[in-house]
Amino acid sequence: MIVADLLAADALQLRLHTPSSVERLAWDISWCAPAETIDPTPFLSANVVLLTNGIGLNIEDQRTWTAYVERLVHVRVAAIAFGTGTAHRLIPPGLVRAATALDVPLLEIPQSVPFLQVHRHVTNVLEVERFTAVNRSWELAQECAQLAASGSHLQVVLDAAAQAAEGHLAIVDAAGSVIARSPSASVWTAADLTDVPGAGHGSIPLPMGSGDSFQLIVRDATSDHPVATLLAPAASIIAVQLQTALHTTTHKERELETLLDQVPDWAGVALEEFTSTFRSTGLDVHEPTLVLAATAGRRNLSNAWRIRLLLQSAFNDVRVQVRAGILYAFAQGPLDGADVEDAATALLTACTRELPGQPLVLKGPCHTIDELRLGIHQAGTTVAEVRTPMRAPDLGIRALIASTASSGARAGAHRLLAPVLAYDAAHAVDLLGTLEAFLEHDAQPGRTAAKLFIHRNTLAQRLGKLEGLLRVSLTSLEGQATCLLALQILRSEALSSGRPAVSLADRR
CATH number among 3.50.50.60, 3.30.70.920, 3.40.1390.20, 1.10.1060.10, domain 3-113 = 3.40.1390.20
**Cβ contacts of residue 20 below 8 Å, gap of 6+?**
3, 103, 104, 105
Nearest to 155 by CA among 265, 228, 94, 241: 241
Q: Are 7 and 107 in contact (CB under 8 A)?
A: yes
Classify residue 159 as left (phi > 0), alpha (psi -120 to 50) or beta: alpha
Name the pairing type of β-strands 106-109 and 79-83.
Answer: parallel
Sketch the domain layout of the chain as residue ranges: 3-113, 149-241, 251-403, 405-507
CATH 3.40.190.10 assigned to domain 405-507? The reply is no
* CA 53 – CA 313 distance, rounded (Å): 60
Q: Quickly count: other Cβ atoms within 10 Å of residue 349's Cβ.
A: 11
Question: According to the 3-state scheme, what is the secondary structure of 7-31?
Answer: HHCHHHCCEECCCCCHHHHCCECCE
* CA 167 – CA 223 distance, rounded (Å): 8
pLDDT of residue 213: 78
Q: Say which DSSP state 383 is in.
A: G
In the three-class reduction of DSSP (H, G, I as helix; E, B as strand; rest coil), residue 374 is classed as: helix
pLDDT of residue 192: 76
| Distances from the Cα of 481 to the Cα of 49, 109, 110, 442, 475, angstroms | 81, 92, 96, 11, 11
The per-residue pLDDT for range 263-297, each reduced to its tens digit, is 888 778 888 999 999 999 889 999 999 999 998 76
Q: What number of CA atoms fall less than 13 Å from residue 292's CA on the CB side?
A: 28
* CA 193 – CA 162 distance, rounded (Å): 16
* pTM metric for this prediction: 0.57
Q: State the DSSP string of 69-125.
A: HHHHHHTT--EEEEE-SSS-SS--HHHHHHHHHTT--EEEE-TTS-HHHHHHHHHHH
Taking 50 as the pLDDT cut, the residues of the chain under it are 500-508
| Distances from the Cα of 30 to the Cα of 1, 399, 425, angstroms | 8, 66, 76
Nearest to 155 by CA among 356, 342, 311: 311
